[in-house]
Each structure stands twice: as C-alpha cells, then as structure tokens.
Structure 1
Amino acid sequence: METQTRQAIDAFQNGFQQLSGLAVTYAFSVLGAIILLLIGYFLAGVIERALKGAIGRVPGFDQTLAQFFAKIGRYVVLALFIVMVLGQFGVQTASIIAAIGAVGLAVGLALQGTLQNIAAGLMLLALRPLRVGEYVEVGTVKGTVEDIGLFATRLRTIEGVYVLAPNSTLWSEPVYNFNRNKVRRNDLIIGIGYDDDIDLAQKTMLDLAAKDKRILRDPAPSASVSELGASSVNVTLRYWTSASDYLATRFDMTKAAKLAFDEKGISIPYPQQEIVYREVGKQGAG
C-alpha cells in the first residue's frame, strides 16, 4: 500500500514538474501572443477609421463603398497578426496560408453567385449608373431606388410594391435612368378628324405650351402632323421640361388639350370603320 502511494506521489511530482517546465517555456510565447493580439486589434481599428476617413473625403465616392474597403483593411490587419501569433508557437504559417487559400477557393466556388452580386454591387457603387431616389428601368425591374447594398438593391415601384433586385441583374442589363438628365422630352400625340382644321389644332397646342411655365423655351415646342391614321390625323406636340416636372406636365397638357379642342370644335374621333352596302340585282330565272 505504501509502495502504491509513493508511486502516485512520484507520478504527480513528475507531471507537475513537466507542466511547470512547459509553463516556463511557453509563458513568454503566450504573453507575446496576447500582446500581439491586443496590438493587432487596436491597429486594425485605427486602419479602418483612417481608410474610411481618407476614402470618404474623395469627392463623389460612395460612403457604402468607403465603408466596405475600410472593413477589408481591418480584416487584412487582423489576419496578419493572427498568423504572427501562430508563428510564436512554432506553427508553420506557410501551411496555414495555403489552407486558407484552399478554403477561400472552395467558398468562392460555392458562393459564386453571391460573389457576382458583390462585384456587381461594387461596380454600381463606383460607376453610379443609378442613385438613391432615381427612377430606373433595368430589364423587367423598374422602380425608384431606395438603397444600394453590396448584394442587392432595394426599389419601390410606382404602385408602392417592394422590389429587391440582385446587383448582378442590374449590372448585366442596360440601365434606363429617368432622373439622371436634367431635362426630358415628351411627345403629346392627339388624333383629330380628317375634316378638322389641322392648322388650328397645331396653333391650339402651341398656345397651350406657351402658357405652361414648366415647358422650356429652348428648345422651343413644335407641333406637326406625325401620322395619317386609319381614323384620325395625328398631331404631335413636342416639348421639353425638367425631369422633375415631366409626369405632371404630361398629365396637365393632355387634359388641357382635350378641353381646348372641345372649346374650338376640334373633334377627337373614335376608331371607326366605313362599311359600304351594295345592292346586288336579282337574276331572272332562265
């Protein structure tokens, strides 16, 4: 019994001595690792704030894109210090970097669509074919832009419907931006009867354009016969307005033209079809 107790005590003492030796051996490594992590965490924050401030001061640079690059800088600094900490314990950093590269490649292949959205989001933020508050049409997607993210863009349709479009979709199609240019042209087409006075109709439309202050004088409005239709002579009033006044002016001018034509006795015919009846003579019995 005494022999077993003595063996247990000797084993405990040997284990304690080994642990003490390991503690002494790695104490400085652990302390150095903690210091490196603290320095890395502090430096990463400094780098992130510095990048965000520097990029944010660039005229016309999107804030979302500035924040994204600042985060990238932070993570790069943290990754470098983690590799340095692992090197303190004798870990082969070359193999770690290779493993990280392999994992990154696998993740990239698995998230190929997501990465495409991120790349497209960066291009949208950099080139800015659309901005918050602008009305755009991109393929089947149309609406007012409310937010441009790194993965998707949020829009609101005229009917108030919520739309979340992937950035890759918006980047791969032509973007029709209805607010980017300051002025827009509208062609107001109204059909009149073939028996009506064309010159009077043109003058009436030009007079309406002259009275509306939202319609620009340069280029000047014009009225012309654009088509001889099946049931009407189509008269077109072409004018320019600011992009913000486009819809309101279009609606008001359409109403004003109808009222003015009614007042001057100019008809706006419905589609009609002319039917001719011919009497066929009866043939006598032979």
Structure 2
Amino acid sequence: MRITTRTAATVARPAAALITGVNRSVGMTPHGLTLAGWHRLGPVGKDGLTTSFDDFRGHLDVLEEWGANILPLNDAVARLEAGTLPDRAVALTFDDGYASVAEHAWPELKKRGMPATLFAVSGYLDPSKTFPWDRHRDDRETVRLMDPRALCDVADDGLDIGSHTVSHRWLRHLAPAEVAAELVISREELEGLLQRPVLSFAYPMGGWTRRIRDQVDRAGYRIAITVDRARNRRGQHPLSLRRWFAFDRASDFRMQLDGGFSWLRPVETFKRRNGPGF
C-alpha cells in the first residue's frame, strides 16, 4: 500500500470514530454491518488477491481484539434489516473458490468459531482450470481451485456457499440474456451439487448496476454483495451490500474496521468504471 494512502486513512480515522460516537449517543447501532473479504491464502505477491497465512491469522486476531460479533451472512443481513444487529457486527466472505480457503482458511476460522461464506464460480470447480488473471503465474499451488468434492466437504463442515456466477465475467459488459444465464445456471449448478438452497451472490469484480441487481432479484437471490467500500446501515438494499477486501497489515486491517479507508470508495468506483483489464 502506498504511504500516502495509509497516511490519508490515519487522518480519516478520527472522523470515523467521531461519527461512531455520535451514532452511539443517539441510540443507533454505531458500526452497522461490516462485510470483510479475502480471495486466497499463499505467498504474498503484488496481485492484490493473495493473503499470507500469518497475515490472515493476524486479521482474525484483530477481529477478536476489536470485539467483533462475527455472524453468519444470512443472519447478519436479516438482523441488519430488522434493526437488531449487535455492536461491531461483522460477516466474513471469500470469493472465487481457491483450494487454500478450504485447506487453510476454513480450518483456522472453524477453530476460532468464526462463520464465513464462500462465493464459488460454478464453472471453475476444476483444479485443471485457471482464472484468466492467474494464467501468467508460475506458483500453481497458490492459484489451484477447489473441485466439486472439496466444495461439498467444506459445505458439509459448515462453510456457507453462495454463487459468484458461472464464468466470473464482468456482468456490465454482457447482454441481459447472458447475465441471466450467469445468474441462473450458477445457482442451479451449485444447488444441484450441494443439495441445499443457494440464496447469496457476489458480483464478480463488483460489476453491478440497478438493472443487473433487478436480474439478481429475479434469479431468486436474497443477498448480493458488491465491492463498494463502506459499512452497511439499516435500509441498505440487500442486493447491493457493501464490502471491503482485507489489506495485508494487521494495523491496516484495524483501520479498515474503524472506517479509515472508506474515503477510497469513489476512487475505486472510478477505477472500475471500464471493467477488468484482462
């Protein structure tokens, strides 16, 4: 992370704390619902997707020290809508379906009693496949994907599973019929595999519009998550919930929990306007 970004977050942090204090003084749940995300564990590179196991454990330590109330995603969203969230409510998520989540992240979470949701790409449940952004990498272990059996095993072990489309394409560049296919087929494939309802969804790379959100609704999802950085307050649309992905340093992760990086949202939205670069 650039020093200027970290410095700006440090400056913004007291303002976020002040807003939290005001909300608490008037009886509002001060922190709303925080959705935190990761992709995979492995040797840290410059891809922005990989978190080392030590850093991941550091993040979980911070959550415990911060006093986070970590809730299952479905329960958290229901309580957000009902206005019954506990203070410092957090839900944990993973995108894509990398094998390291099943083999390393989930056992650590389970040991600590922390629920989480994995958003799986139904057309990439195959270790012989590689996502387009990973094809230049030599460390095949880091980019290895789950197979259907591994997904079923972690689901049976308590990891919640949502959909992340069939092929992880940028939905904003697709025709409505193509978007519908990505939404409906992925849900059908995952439900057929897991033999349980799949009602949550994560927009690939955060690519959503109100039109796409309406299609997500028609496809039968009840929760959908963006990458628009901020906490979720009561009244936030359940099909465009906000979420941030964890930075590596434990100190940065703590600043994320405190709202120090929320000012990045319009910057990140501007950068995503044309979609991914692969």
Q: If each structure's helix is expressed as a fraction of its own residues, which one has the higher value?
A: 1
Q: If each structure's strand is expressed as a fraction of its own residues, which one has the higher value?
A: 1
TM bracket (short chain): under 0.3
Q: TM-score, normalised by structure 1?
A: 0.19
Q: TM-score, normalised by structure 2?
A: 0.19
Higher CA-based Rg? 1
